[in-house]
Structure 1
Amino acid sequence: MKTIFRIFSVILIASLWIACDSDGSNSNSSKPKARGSIGEIILVMDSAKYAGPVGEAIRDIFESDLPGMIRSEAKFKVNRVDPRAMTRMLRMSTNLIYVTTFDDRGAASQVINAQFSKESKEKALNDPNLYSLRVEDEYAVGQEVLYLFGNTEQQLIENLEKNGDRLENLFEIRERGRLEKAILARKNTAANAEAKDNLGIEINVPASYQVAKSEPGFLWVRQPTPTGNRADISLFFHVEDYVSEEQTFPENILTLRDSITRQHIFGDPEDPTSYVVTEKQIVPAFQNMVINDNFTTEIRASWKTNNISMGGSYLGYLMVDKEKGKLYYIEGFVYYPNEVHRDALREIETILLKTDVSWTPETGA
């Protein structure tokens, strides 16, 4: 392995963060290809440290519950490994996180500490704000390796608490990029044509999805062949005039959402009273953001059918295009009883965030 000191010096110049070359074009082609499922992280860390305050700070970042879920589900699938048990196969994992503190004399932490030179430890000692080191393709092509360290546990915890969102976002963006390459290699051009004609937007939907319903102002596409290993995922898109900021208030977003599903989406197509509604017993989570210069509210919540025993999770985005005077509601919902929804929701997020509401028929963009 390249010495940590040489890498560390480069990272210091760039404030410890290196731009990620997502296609691995600058990687050593003789290295094996990284392996690991989407959302999986191998956490290399002493067991005692993981059970203590440092481990709690790490869990708060990577293993905290997804909001709006019926059941408790962690944001990432984290597998902790003792540093002394690292094998060649584990070192080829797509996402690796090493965690240590330089004051830890335990045998497991010392395995990680030995990878840092005396000079790099001195740099960390002189700058308590240094806590992370990112290395791309260290053991395999397409790999992300993150070192999280501190002179003491308290120092590391403080840095983790200050930078938790940044660290989580690093892996969220990376995993969406990996998933996008996998599921959007082939796209459903018919669904995109329907979206352009009926909603005036451009969507990117995998070829495996099919149009379930299309009419002016509304489009529903669905993965038609769910299995025991594959969730039933539906996506729908709605547009209406934007007339007031009140349309973006959380309670009004839920009212809009339920009015759309009540009109168009049913647990049993033969039973119009089986329409889909938001599960009010689970508090929906809202987050405001800006996507492509458009004010957007993200909604993570749970759904159920009005009168039959069906339910699941959903992820939606309310987008405002003031220039066009339009308000868009786009959503993906999951039906996957007694199974984990995290992977399906990440797929939904990846697809929906590729939606372009600025598309116009005049310019095609």
Structure 2
Amino acid sequence: MFAFMKGLLISGLAVFFLWSCNGKENLPPASGLSGDMYLVMDSVQWQGKLGEVVDSLFRIEMEGLPRKESIFHMRWIDPRKLNFVLKQRRNLIFAVTLDRNSAGANMLKGLFTPESLEKIKSDPDSYVLTMSDVYAKGQEAMYLYGNTEKELIANLRSKGHYLIEHFNRKEKERLGVSLYKSGQITGVSDWLKQNMDCDIKIPFGYKLVINNKEFLWMRQINPSVDKDIFIAAVPYQSQDQFKKENLIALRDQFCEKYLFEDPEVANSYLKTETTVPFIPVTTKEVNMNGKYAIEMRGLWRANNFSMGGPFVGFAMVDEAKGKFYYVEGFTFSPSKDQREIMRELETILGTFRTSEAITK
């Protein structure tokens, strides 16, 4: 699926734009917050069906959060007001169709060469191109185009999830750079390789709470946010271990054994929240660093209802070692938005490796 998505997003590389990519070393750094999106689109199309489709696509809710938060924060920019400052935003989306002749649409069409416009007219399946560092270093720009508005809307509705995955991956790549700028806790990495046959990159700032041959828990606490990462390992028995009900049972088994709101209060152990009908625990198949995995998202709470929050976890097998791993990130941050916290935890989890992938 990833290979298809990558091909989809770069298939338009034959389309050329009227600016030059030379001089990137002199570009200013991209600005803006993680998750911010700036959509450059003609005002008439923004207020119409195309704007509605693009806006709803990138405002889809992030799964498994206790409060509604969209996966991205979308802002609209009139092409006529795209100034030097706005051009430096970290995530830019340009959207235009050739059947529009307004001033704003014509400005956007002016970004394309005559050859590229002919390609758009002749290829209804071509609708997206991504480029990096167009106006600023660290910037990601996406161009959505079509011969007609109806044509572009059809492509967005059938393939739009790939566009979300693209920007989500770019945000996590940026997070990875900033998280590990000061390095990682190498002692944890060495211990994991020797005792649990796996590895994960834990950035500075986390503290080791528990480590034994079946469970490791790392924690970062500040006055407003508690971020947690844990790794659990059990013998691999069958594919049934990937079923949602079995993953929840495994999670609850380790939470009840090791994770407490207050270790002095036996009833304060953590558990998976399965009684909120509008925020169910969800699972899906994913490719995690080339390995088959199941992603699980949902809410957790203390058994005595004293605290709770969201979690995201991944389950996978190391067949060579006969081990079944479940790695998770969860947070307690009741006074803060949690979208970017969860994206950060997911970035850390994305560094997890089983023995087959560990560099010897």
Matched, 1:238 2:238: no
C-alpha separation in 2, matches of 1:118 and 1:232:
54
Q: 1:269 aligns with which of 263, 270, 282?
A: 263
Partner of 2:77: 81
Matched, 1:278 2:275: no
TM-aligned CA distance change 1:339 to 1:50, over 3 Å? farther
Offset of 1:141 from its aligned partner?
2.0
Deviations 1:67-124 (A, max 9, x none): 1222111111222222222121110112111111222233333332232344432321
Deviations 1:239-295 (A, max 9, x none): 010012211111100111111111111112221211111111121121112334432
Amino acid at match of 1:126: S
Offset of 1:364 from its aligned partner?
5.8
Partner of 1:171: 167
Q: Conserved in 1, the CA contact under 8 Å of 2:320 and 2:356? A: no
Partner of 1:97: 93
Offset of 1:207 from its aligned partner?
1.0
Q: Conserved in 1, the CA contact under 8 Å of 2:281 and 2:296? A: yes
1:197-212 mapped onto 2 (5 Å cutoff): 197-212=194-209
Q: Conserved in 1, the CA contact under 8 Å of 2:289 and 2:350? A: no
Partner of 2:354: 357
Q: 2:177 aligns with which of 178, 181, 186?
A: 181
TM-aligned CA distance change 1:308 to 1:205, over 3 Å? same
TM-aligned CA distance change 1:307 to 1:114, over 3 Å? same
Partner of 2:252: 258
Q: 2:158 aligns with which of 156, 162, 187?
A: 162
TM-aligned CA distance change 1:246 to 1:208, over 3 Å? same
Q: 1:65 aligns with which of 61, 65, 68?
A: 61
Q: 1:346 aligns with which of 331, 343, 347?
A: 343
Amino acid at match of 1:68: G
Amino acid at match of 1:169: E
Q: Conserved in 1, the CA contact under 8 Å of 2:268 and 2:306? A: no
Matched, 1:303 2:300: yes
Q: TM-score, normalised by structure 2?
A: 0.88
Any idea what SS the aligned residue of 1:247 has? helix
Deviations 1:278-330 (A, max 9, x none): 11112112111233443210011111111133111100001112222110010
TM-aligned CA distance change 1:242 to 1:122, over 3 Å? same
C-alpha separation in 2, matches of 1:146 and 1:53:
19
| More off after superposition, 160-169 vs 258-267 | 160-169
C-alpha separation in 1, matches of 2:118 and 2:13:
19
| Aligned structure 1 segments of 4 or more residues deviating by more than 4 angstroms | none
C-alpha separation in 2, matches of 1:364 and 1:148:
40
C-alpha separation in 1, matches of 2:256 and 2:22:
51
Q: TM-score, normalised by structure 1?
A: 0.87
C-alpha separation in 2, matches of 1:253 and 1:312:
18
Amino acid at match of 2:79: P
C-alpha separation in 2, matches of 1:203 and 1:119:
47
Amino acid at match of 1:142: G
Deviations 1:138-193 (A, max 9, x none): 21222222111112111001111232122122212211111111101310112223
Offset of 1:17 from its aligned partner?
4.5
C-alpha separation in 1, matches of 2:243 and 2:22:
46
Identity, in percent, stands at 36
TM-aligned CA distance change 1:75 to 1:232, over 3 Å? same
Partner of 1:52: 48
Partner of 1:38: 34
C-alpha separation in 2, matches of 1:17 and 1:332:
37
Question: Any stretches of 5+ residues in structure 2 without a counterpart?
Answer: 1-6, 15-20
TM-aligned CA distance change 1:198 to 1:47, over 3 Å? farther
Any idea what SS the aligned residue of 2:327 has? strand
Q: Conserved in 1, the CA contact under 8 Å of 2:40 and 2:94? A: yes
Partner of 2:241: 247
Question: Any stretches of 5+ residues in structure 1 without a counterpart?
Answer: 1-10, 19-24
TM-aligned CA distance change 1:127 to 1:98, over 3 Å? same
C-alpha separation in 1, matches of 2:37 and 2:71:
11
Any idea what SS the aligned residue of 1:88 has? coil
TM-aligned CA distance change 1:311 to 1:52, over 3 Å? farther
